[in-house]
């Protein structure tokens, strides 16, 4: 089937008590790892491209690689989504390039400016059959060249969501309930230590805010950004093969599972894929210092991305078998 929008996907996810995975893509191997897992698990999927990814690969390559995945995986629905679009121009350029979904992220602006800017994108997108994700609240963490400190971050205010959605006409809403971008989501001071394992435990997500939002927007698809769990096996693999990533802590998968069963229809995962790729390549070079063929070290990286995505689909998102 051709690229789809997320409209039907979100309806089914909302009613079925699961979430669709939205995975960031930057190159062929990442796209293949994700979509092969989704095809085998019969899962719908959102492939998302950030402004940075678009600048890295240029505006043509990633679209064409995603189109190749659509040809290779005709039995699963695939959305091509712009992640964190920061202007009307970026969103328009993606819509004109064939994206079926865009995010306009004006969450750092005032409430009024966020509404005005989002409305403009919604008008153009809807006129072209494309859906729009918007955001209220500010996640902490690093995303592209934007760093939001813990002090600057703030949770979504549930009392704002109805006005925002009705005035903008957006199709889904990203909210801030304590997730965070990147591999270093929390400082050690924000965490407690598990007395048994010594592992850092992050503060729990604010499910009370999510519940308030859902009460005010019944049936409306909610999105969670910054939802990597930062798998410790890959952090260890990186650190034991010459890397240095102390205290990288993510969102516990049990909390994401709980979110996926609620109105959260889309869960964004990027950092975990990066960790799997980097850990695998670092280990490969340590074990094969004389190798220099990219196919040799990217092959196991792609395989590990595939298995990581399979685990997310089955054990975290619950979207396997839902294509
Ligand atoms: O939230 C942002 C995503 O992790 C994309 O990151 O802008 O470095 O491609 P990027
Ligand atoms: P992570 O950094 O937690 O993977 O979040 C990705 C994200 O939100 C992309 O928009
Ligand atoms: Zn994000």
CATH number, domain with residue 249: 3.20.20.70
Mutation pick for ligand 2 pocket among 133, 177, 182, 275 (CB with most ligand atoms within 8 Å) = 182
Is 272 close to ligand 1, i.e. is its CB under 6 Å away?
no
Q: Indicate whether 254 belongs to any domain.
A: yes
Token pair for 143: 């995303």
Number of domains in the chain: 1
CA distance 224 to 218: 17
From 21, 55, 83, 182, mutation site for ligand 1 pocket: most ligand atoms within 8 A of C-beta: 83
Q: Which stretches in the chain have pLDDT values below 50?
A: none
Enumerate residues 6+ apart whose C-beta is below 8 A from 222: 172, 173, 174, 175, 210, 213, 214, 262, 263, 264, 265, 266
The model's pLDDT over 210-249, given as tens digits with 9 standing for 90+, comes to 999 999 999 999 999 999 999 999 999 999 999 999 989 9
pTM check: above 0.95:
yes
Q: What is the pLDDT of residue 144?
A: 65
What was the pLDDT predicted at 323? Answer: 98
84 assigned to some structural domain: yes
Residues flanking ligand 2, CB < 6 Å: 24, 83-84, 181-182, 225-228, 268-271
In a domain, 161, yes or no: yes
Is 264 part of any domain?
yes
Half-sphere exposure of 7 (CA within 13 A, CB side): 11
Beta strands in 28-154 (DSSP E): 45-50, 78-85, 101-104, 131-136, 140-143, 146-148
Domain assignment present for 230: yes
Residue with CA at minimum distance from ligand 2 atom 1: 226
CB 282 within 8 A of CB 241: yes
Nearest to 305 by CA among 37, 47, 52: 37
Flag whether 1 is in a domain. no
271 CA distance to ligand 1 middle (Å)? 8
Q: Which domain holds residue 151?
A: 7-317
Nearest ligand 2 atom to alpha carbon 22: 9
In a domain, residue 323? The reply is: no
Q: Which residues surround ligand 3, an ion (CB under 5 A)?
A: 225
83 flagged as catalytic: yes
Q: What percent of the chain has pLDDT over 90?
A: 89
280 within some domain:
yes
């Amino acid at each position: 089937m051709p690229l789809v929008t997320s409209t039907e996907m979100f309806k089914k996810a909302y009613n079925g008590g699961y979430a669709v995975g939205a995975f960031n893509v930057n190159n062929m191997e990442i796209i293949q790892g994700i979509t092969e897992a989704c095809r085998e698990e019969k899962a719908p999927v959102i492939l998302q491209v950030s402004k940075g990814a678009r600048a890295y690969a240029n505006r043509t390559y990633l679209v064409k690689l995603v189109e190749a995945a659509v040809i290779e995986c005709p039995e699963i629905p695939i959305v091509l989504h712009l992640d964190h679009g920061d202007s009307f121009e970026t969103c328009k350029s993606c819509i004109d390039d064939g994206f079926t979904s865009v995010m306009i992220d004006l969450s750092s602006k005032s409430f009024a400016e966020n509404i005005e800017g989002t409305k403009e994108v919604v008008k153009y997108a809807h006129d072209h059959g494309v859906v729009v994700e918007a955001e209220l609240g500010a996640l902490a963490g690093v995303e592209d060249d934007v760093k939001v400190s813990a002090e600057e971050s703030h949770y979504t205010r549930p009392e704002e969501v109805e006005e925002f959605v009705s005035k903008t006409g957006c199709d889904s809403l990203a909210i801030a309930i304590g997730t965070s971008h990147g591999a270093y989501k929390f400082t050690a001071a924000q965490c407690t230590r598990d007395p048994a394992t010594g592992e850092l435990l992050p503060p729990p997500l604010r499910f009370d805010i999510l519940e308030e939002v859902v009460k005010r927007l019944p049936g409306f698809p909610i999105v969670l950004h910054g939802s990597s769990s930062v798998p410790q096996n890959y952090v260890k693999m990186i650190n034991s093969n010459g890397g240095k990533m102390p205290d990288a802590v993510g969102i516990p998968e049990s909390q994401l599972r709980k979110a996926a069963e609620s109105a959260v229809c889309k869960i964004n995962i990027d950092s975990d894929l990066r960790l799997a790729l980097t850990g695998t390549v670092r280990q490969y070079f340590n074990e094969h210092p004389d190798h220099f063929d990219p196919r040799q070290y990217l092959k196991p990286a792609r395989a590990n991305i595939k298995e990581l995505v399979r685990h997310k689909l089955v054990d975290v998102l619950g979207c396997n078998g839902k294509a």
